[in-house]
């Protein structure tokens, strides 16, 4: 009997993959991240805007010039610094937009790594490889991941933040350090308004789980806040050394972004996330609802299910 599939099967390879699925997961994440990053012109208008900023700032003070503009920068200084660094590093081998797009690989691979570490902390090593693959298969990630955008950097910051959040009840100091690192990446790499996500997450998890209402978690929050303040302070010192007037430009911008969090959300602010949720998170949300159904009411009381939700 003819069995074509047999010719493509290698028993030893199949055994290694079965016994060590993390190896295959790492290979898939790296391949998925790198393929498609280079070799094409900017696809979306957002890429054109970012490349316009980068081309204007390449030989000057990069982000500093943006602070004097009337328009609000689409990303933070970390985004522009990393992109410009890669443009300089890979010039003239790669076009500027291709080199800038390679920074997305750093943020995406960091996201996959910390999502896996978070799953390892919540569910154990045997299940840690599933979470990066579920994220990788989401439709929304395909849309934004292979273009110049601050979204991958935001995802990296959030994945580090959630890793710290998962560690905090068990290792308060280390968890706090990761909380601060993730929050700092969000503040310095994206728009200030995105700090809303960690704030809401901390509030909800504290209301839902008693392990996040004790002294250990408060200690983690204090450490995280201290790390964030130190890193933001270093950024302000850099600004001051370049030009003493620059911190006075960035602080109001940051304050306006923070103040924006406390305004009453409009109907569009609420409707837009709900409208894109079904396709943006497809098919991951199916597994979320399936987990809720399987675990039931008792499962909703555990951080292993609360944090992913």
Q: Tokens 């839902």 — which residue?
A: 208
Element (H, E) at 129: none
Q: Check pLDDT > 70 for residue 69.
A: no
Within 13 Å, how many C-alpha atoms sit on residue 83's CB side? 31
Pick the more confident residue, 62 or 16: 16
Selection from 32, 97, 20 nearest residue 58 by Cα: 97
Cβ atoms of 170 and 211 closer than 8 Å: no
Asked if residue 25 is part of any domain, the answer here is no
- Tell me how many domains the chain contains: 1
- pLDDT the model gives residue 308: 66
Asked if residue 295 is part of any domain, the answer here is no
Structure tokens at 293: 């159904």
Q: Check pLDDT > 90 for residue 242.
A: no
Asked if residue 281 is part of any domain, the answer here is no
Q: What is the pLDDT of residues 257-290, one digit of tens each?
A: 556 655 666 666 667 777 777 778 788 878 777 7
- pLDDT the model gives residue 76: 81
Q: What is the pTM of this model?
A: 0.86
Q: What is the DSSP string of 48-69?
A: HHHHHHHHHHTTTTTHHHHHTS
Range of the domain at 200: 45-265
- pLDDT the model gives residue 141: 85
Residue 44 main-chain phi, psi, to 5 deg: -115, 165
What DSSP designation does 264 have?
A: P
Q: Check pLDDT > 80 for residue 138.
A: yes
Asked if residue 21 is part of any domain, the answer here is no
Mean pLDDT of 50-70: 63
Asked if residue 38 is part of any domain, the answer here is no
Cβ atoms of 175 and 167 closer than 8 Å: yes
Asked if residue 293 is part of any domain, the answer here is no
Asked if residue 106 is part of any domain, the answer here is yes
How high is the mean pLDDT of the chain?
A: 81
pLDDT above 90 covers a percentage of the chain that reads 28
Q: Check pLDDT > 90 for residue 153.
A: yes
Q: What is the pLDDT of residues 74-119, one digit of tens each?
A: 678 888 889 888 988 888 888 888 999 999 999 999 999 999 999 8
Q: Check pLDDT > 50 for residue 28.
A: yes
- pLDDT the model gives residue 236: 87
Q: What is the DSSP string of 244-257?
A: TTHHHHHHHHHHHH
- pLDDT the model gives residue 70: 47
Asked if residue 110 is part of any domain, the answer here is yes
Mean pLDDT of 294-309: 65
């Amino acid at each position: 009997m003819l069995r074509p599939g047999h010719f493509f099967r290698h028993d030893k390879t199949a055994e290694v993959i079965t016994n060590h699925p993390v190896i295959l997961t790492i290979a898939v994440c790296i391949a998925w991240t790198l393929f498609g990053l280079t070799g094409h012109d900017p696809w979306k208008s957002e890429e054109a805007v970012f490349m316009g900023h980068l081309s204007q700032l390449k030989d000057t003070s990069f982000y500093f010039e943006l602070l004097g503009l009337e328009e609000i920068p689409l990303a933070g200084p970390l985004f522009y610094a990393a992109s410009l660094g890669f443009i300089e590093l890979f010039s003239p081998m790669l076009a500027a937009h291709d080199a800038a797009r390679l920074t997305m690989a750093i943020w995406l691979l960091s996201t996959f790594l910390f999502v896996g570490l978070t799953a390892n902390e919540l569910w154990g090593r045997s299940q840690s490889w599933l979470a990066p693959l579920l994220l990788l298969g989401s439709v929304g990630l395909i849309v934004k991941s292979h273009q110049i955008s601050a979204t991958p950097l935001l995802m990296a910051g959030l994945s580090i933040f959630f890793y710290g959040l998962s560690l905090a009840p068990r290792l308060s100091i280390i968890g706090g350090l990761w909380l601060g690192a993730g929050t700092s990446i969000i503040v310095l790499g994206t728009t200030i308004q995105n700090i809303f996500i960690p704030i809401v997450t901390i509030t909800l998890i504290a209301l839902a789980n008693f392990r996040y209402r004790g002294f250990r978690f408060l200690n983690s929050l204090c450490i995280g806040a201290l790390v964030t303040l130190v890193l933001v302070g270093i950024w302000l010192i850099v600004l001051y050394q370049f030009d003493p007037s620059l911190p006075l430009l960035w602080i109001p911008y940051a304050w306006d972004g923070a103040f924006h969090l406390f305004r009453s959300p409009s109907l569009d602010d609420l409707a837009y996330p709900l409208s894109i949720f079904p396709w943006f998170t497809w098919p991951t949300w199916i597994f979320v609802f399936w987990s809720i159904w399987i675990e039931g009411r008792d499962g909703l009381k555990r951080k292993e299910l609360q944090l992913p939700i």
